[in-house]
Amino acid sequence: MENHGVFGSPPKELAAVPAGATQYSPLEPGSRNLEDAPPDSLPAFTMLASPGTIERRYHLALALRSLRPGAPLLALAPKDKGGSRLAKELREFGLEVEEEARSHHRICRAVKPAVAPNLAETLAEGAARFDQTLGAWTQPGVFSWNRLDPGTKLLLEHLPALAGRGADLGGGLGFLTRAVLESPRVEKVIFAEIDRRALDCARKNIASPRVDFRWLDLRQSRHLETGLDFVVSNPPFHDGGHEDQGLGQIFIRQAAYLLRPGGVCWLVANKHLAYEKELKSLFTGLQPVVETGGYKIYEAHR
């Protein structure tokens, strides 16, 4: 029998999730894939809804598809990150919604109707697709899903030919790894990414036996191979929609841990992010490469 489904980490004081609930968030390594949940199979679902409109509606549609008719759905979100639109979006799926406001969240309760309209259209809108402009597979909700991030673009313009074994930390859709693999002297790239959707797209975007794809949270993992020759990274600095420079610092510490003495880290960051102190404390040589357009690139030697 299928378990109660949960998506993300709803605040405990706002939504009680039973022990043993099955996690379906693509940002939780090891979780189940909601796309694969059989229709009309789950007895209940609790969701901390995504902030992006297309991805939020997509995940709501997936949750509804997976629920049995008459099964309860509890969906909530901060009011400034989709919560103010949540009840309206659920009603568009044919649900009768009870809504309450608490702790800056909107909390919506409903049950799955016998027939839920608009599911197929919403699922098609939020699904992975090949983007001709990007020249890559992508999906709404993935970082910079519909454009090449300017920081990544800048690093691509300055990245030298690398060699040996390395890692792409927070690899996203795979643009940096694709560039790294253009060097025939590169033996292996460990591709580390927390977002399963991005990882799935990257597997399609990078057709090379030299890549080792890993779905993991670098904030909690020290299980990667060490003694690497290089690391490339455009680290995140937002968590749950809020700026968190500590994320980038974690990526820098991971890079230092993974590299051999003399190994090199190529890192791009937004200009306002103060990573220099962390870099100088962990690397023997730090060389600013370029600073332009609100971004900066560093070449740091272990």
More confident residue, 207 or 265: 265
Please state, in angstroms and rounded to a whole number, the distance separating the CA atoms of residues 158 and 287: 13
143 and 289 housed in the same domain = yes
* Residue that is last in its domain, among 126, 161, 193: 126
The count of residues in the chain is 302
The model's pTM is 0.94
Same domain, 112 and 254: no
Check whether 239 has a pLDDT greater than 70.
no
pLDDT attached to residue 244: 66
> Residues 115, 160: one domain?
no
What CATH number does the domain containing 297 carry?
Answer: 3.40.50.150
Residue 236: pLDDT band with limits 50, 70, 90 = confident
Confidence of residue 83 (pLDDT cuts 50, 70, 90): very high
Q: Within this chain, do residues 173 and 295 fall inside the same structural domain, yes or no?
A: yes
What b/e sequence results for 118-146 when a residue is b if at least 16 CB atoms lie within 10 Å of its CB, and e otherwise? ebeebbebbebeebeebebbbbbbbbbbe
Phi, psi at 28, each rounded to 5°: -115, 95
Residues 148 and 279 in one domain: yes
Do 31 and 137 lie in one domain? The reply is no
- The reported pLDDT for the residue numbered 195 is 97
- Let me know whether 100 and 115 are in one domain: yes
Q: How far apart are the first and last CA of the chain?
A: 51
Instruction: Please give the tally of structural domains in the chain.
Output: 2
Same domain, 138 and 272: yes
Question: How confident is the model over 36-73, as pLDDT tens digits?
Answer: 999 999 999 999 999 999 999 999 999 999 999 999 99
Among 94, 110, 126, residue at a domain's last position: 126
Token reading at 236: 């995140």
Predicted confidence band of residue 242 (pLDDT cuts 50, 70, 90): low
- Choosing from 79, 102, 126, the residue where a domain stops is 126
User: Could you read off the pLDDT of 198-221 as tens digits, one per residue?
Assistant: 999 999 999 899 999 999 999 887
Does 136 share its domain with 284? yes
Is a pLDDT exceeding 90 seen at residue 274?
A: no
- Average per-residue pLDDT for the chain: 94
Question: Could you list the residue range(s) of the whole structural domain that residue 35 is in?
Answer: 5-126
